C-alpha cells in the first residue's frame, strides 16, 4: 500500500528541494528521487521530524551521541567486512560482540533491530541523529541505492580519519605552547601577589625612596590583589562580546579575510581551509553527488567567511558554465596549488581524484607549517615571559641594594 513520504533532496543546480511522494517504502522513494535527477538527503514519514532547513553539514556526532572516533572506527570496520564479502547483519553482529563501550554496543544492537524485516541501513541510521548526521545518512542511502555500500562506507571512513588526523595534529601541536603560556602567567601572578608583598613592609620600615621600577611593580601587585578577579571578569566579558560581534557576517567576513593575510597564520589558515574544501568536495563527487550540489554542501564546511563567500561566488559562476577552479583562483583566497590541481581535474575529468590528492598535499603542508609555528612560538614565549620575570626580580633587587646602601 502506498504511503506518503516527505523528502529533502539536492538538485543538480545545487538547490534544495522539499516535497511529498507516494511509495511503499523508503527504498522506493530514494530510487524514484534518483531517477528524477535528485540526490536524496533525507526521507521520512510525515510527522517524524523531517527538518525543513538544510541539515547539519558534518559527518561528526551531535551532542550526546557516540564520539567521532567511535563512529569512524565503526564505519571503517563495516567497510572492511562488507568488502570482504560479509553481509551487513553479520558485520553488525560481529561489531556488537567486539566494541568495548556499552553505549556503542547498544547503538549497534538498535541498528540491527531496525533493519529486521528488510529495513534499509540508512533508515536505521536515521533513527540515531545524535551519532549519525543527515549528511552521513544521505551518503549511506546513496550507496545503498547504487549497490556500492562497501565503497561508500570506505570513503566516509577515509574522510573522517583524515579530518580527525588533521584536527588531532593541530590540537597536539598547540598543547605545549598553551601550557607554557599558562605556566608563565601563573608564575608572574604568583610573584606579584605572593612573593613581592612579603618585602613591602621591609621597604616601608626603611623609609627609603624606592626606585621607579620597584614602585611600578608594587603597584601592579596591589592592583592584581584588589582587582584581579574584576580584571578577569572584564576580559571574559570582552571575549564574549567580541565573539558575539564576530557572529555578524558584515564584521566576520573582513575579519576572516585579514586573518588569511597574516604572514604566518594566514598561510596556515589557507592550507587548512583548502584541505577541508578539497577533501569534502572530492568525497562527495566520488559518492555520486553532482558538482553544484556538492558545492552547496561544502559551503557549510568552510568556517572562514571569506572562503565561504568565494565559494558561493564560484558556485554561481559554475552554474553559468564557467570553470570552478578559475572562479576560485580569482578570489585570491585559496592556495594557488589547490586551484591548479582542481583546474587540471576539470580538464581531465578527474576532479574527484585530484581534489583528494590536493587535500593530502595541503594537509601535509598544514602540519609542516604548524610544526614551524610551534618551533617559533616556544622560544618567543620563553624569552618574553623570562624577560618579564627578570624585570620583576630586577626591580626587587634594585630596592634591596638601595636598602643596603642606606645601611652603610
The CATH code of the domain that includes 319 is 1.20.81.30
Contact assessment for residue 163 and residue 95, using Cβ atoms and an 8 Å cutoff: no
| Strands laid side by side in the 3-10 sheet | 16-23, 3-10, 39-44
Assign 3 a pLDDT band (cuts: 50, 70, 90): confident
The reply to whether 54 falls in a domain is no
Contact assessment for residue 88 and residue 149, using Cβ atoms and an 8 Å cutoff: yes
The reply to whether 365 falls in a domain is yes
Question: What's the CA gap between 89 and 75, in Å, rounded?
Answer: 14
> Is the pLDDT assigned to residue 408 strictly greater than 70?
no
Work out the average pLDDT over 189-218.
82
- C-alpha cell read off for 210: 624606592
pLDDT tens-digit map of 235-288: 999 999 998 888 888 888 889 989 999 988 899 999 999 998 999 899 888 887
3-state secondary structure of 267: helix
Work out the average pLDDT over 209-217.
85
Nearest alpha-carbon partner for 211 in 398, 407, 408: 398
In this prediction, what percent of the chain has a pLDDT beyond 90? Answer: 19
Tell me the residue range of the domain where 281 lies.
260-369
Cα–Cα–Cα angle for 283, 286, 288, rounded to 5 degrees? 115
Note the pLDDT of residue 406. Answer: 52
Same domain, 28 and 129: no
Nearest alpha-carbon partner for 370 in 166, 67, 152, 110: 166
Same domain, 284 and 343: yes
The reply to whether 53 falls in a domain is no
The CA–CA distances, whole Å, from 278 to 24, 57, 113, 282 equal: 38, 15, 37, 6
Cα–Cα–Cα angle for 130, 136, 137, rounded to 5 degrees? 85
pLDDT tens-digit map of 366-384: 999 988 888 888 899 999 9
Work out the average pLDDT over 320-329.
86
Note the pLDDT of residue 45. Answer: 63
Note the pLDDT of residue 383. Answer: 92
Assign 55 a pLDDT band (cuts: 50, 70, 90): very low
Same domain, 138 and 39: no
Q: Which residue has the cell 621597604?
A: 203
Same domain, 27 and 82: no
Mean pLDDT, the chain, rounded, equals: 83
More confident of the two residues 32 and 158: 158
The reply to whether 273 falls in a domain is yes
Across the chain, which distance is largest between two alpha carbons, in Å?
107
Question: What's the CA gap between 86 and 91, in Å, rounded?
Answer: 6
Considering only 21-35, 167-181, 189-203, 295-309, which range has the smallest mean pLDDT?
A: 21-35
Assign 61 a pLDDT band (cuts: 50, 70, 90): very low
**Start-to-end CA span in the chain (Å):** 107
Question: What's the CA gap between 145 and 135, in Å, rounded?
Answer: 15
Amino acid at each position: 500500500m502506498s504511503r506518503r513520504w516527505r523528502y529533502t533532496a539536492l538538485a543538480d543546480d545545487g538547490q534544495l528541494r522539499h516535497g511529498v511522494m507516494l511509495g511503499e517504502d523508503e527504498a522506493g522513494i530514494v530510487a524514484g528521487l534518483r531517477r528524477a535527477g535528485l540526490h536524496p538527503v533525507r526521507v521520512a514519514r510525515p510527522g517524524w521530524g523531517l527538518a525543513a532547513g538544510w541539515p547539519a553539514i558534518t559527518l561528526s556526532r551531535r551532542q550526546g551521541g557516540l564520539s567521532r572516533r567511535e563512529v569512524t572506527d565503526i564505519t571503517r570496520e563495516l567497510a572492511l567486512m562488507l568488502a570482504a564479502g560479509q553481509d551487513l547483519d553479520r558485520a553488525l553482529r560481529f561489531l556488537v560482540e567486539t566494541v568495548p563501550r556499552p553505549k556503542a554496543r547498544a547503538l549497534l544492537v538498535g541498528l540491527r533491530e531496525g533493519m529486521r524485516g528488510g529495513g534499509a541501513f540508512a533508515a536505521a541510521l536515521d533513527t540515531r541523529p545524535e551519532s549519525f548526521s543527515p549528511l552521513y545518512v544521505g551518503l549511506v542511502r546513496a550507496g545503498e541505492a547504487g549497490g556500492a555500500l562497501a565503497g561508500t562506507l570506505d570513503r566516509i571512513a577515509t574522510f573522517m580519519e583524515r579530518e580527525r588526523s588533521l584536527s588531532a595534529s593541530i590540537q597536539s601541536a598547540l598543547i605545549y605552547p598553551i601550557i607554557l603560556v599558562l605556566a608563565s602567567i601563573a608564575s608572574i601572578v604568583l610573584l606579584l601577589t605572593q612573593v613581592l608583598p612579603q618585602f613591602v613592609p621591609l621597604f616601608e620600615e626603611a623609609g627609603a625612596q624606592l626606585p621607579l621600577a620597584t614602585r611600578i611593580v608594587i603597584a601592579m601587585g596591589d592592583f592584581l590583589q584588589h582587582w584581579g578577579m574584576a580584571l578577569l571578569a572584564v576580559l571574559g566579558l570582552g571575549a564574549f562580546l567580541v565573539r558575539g560581534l564576530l557572529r555578524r557576517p558584515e564584521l566576520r567576513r573582513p575579519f576572516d579575510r585579514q586573518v588569511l593575510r597574516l604572514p604566518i597564520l594566514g598561510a596556515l589558515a589557507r592550507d587548512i581551509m583548502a584541505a577541508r574544501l578539497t577533501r569534502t568536495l572530492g568525497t562527495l563527487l566520488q559518492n555520486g553527488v553532482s558538482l553544484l550540489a556538492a558545492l552547496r554542501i561544502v559551503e557549510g564546511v568552510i568556517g572562514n567567511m571569506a572562503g565561504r563567500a568565494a565559494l558561493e561566488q564560484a558556485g554561481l559562476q559554475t552554474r553559468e558554465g564557467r570553470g570552478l577552479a578559475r572562479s576560485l583562483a580569482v578570489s585570491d583566497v585559496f592556495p594557488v596549488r589547490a586551484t591548479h590541481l582542481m583546474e587540471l581535474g576539470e580538464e581531465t575529468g578527474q576532479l574527484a581524484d585530484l581534489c583528494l590528492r590536493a587535500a593530502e598535499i595541503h594537509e601535509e603542508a598544514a602540519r609542516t607549517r604548524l610544526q614551524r609555528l610551534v618551533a617559533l612560538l616556544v622560544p618567543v614565549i620563553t624569552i618574553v615571559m623570562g624577560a618579564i620575570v627578570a624585570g620583576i626580580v630586577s626591580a626587587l633587587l634594585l630596592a634591596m641594594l638601595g636598602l643596603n646602601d642606606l645601611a652603610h
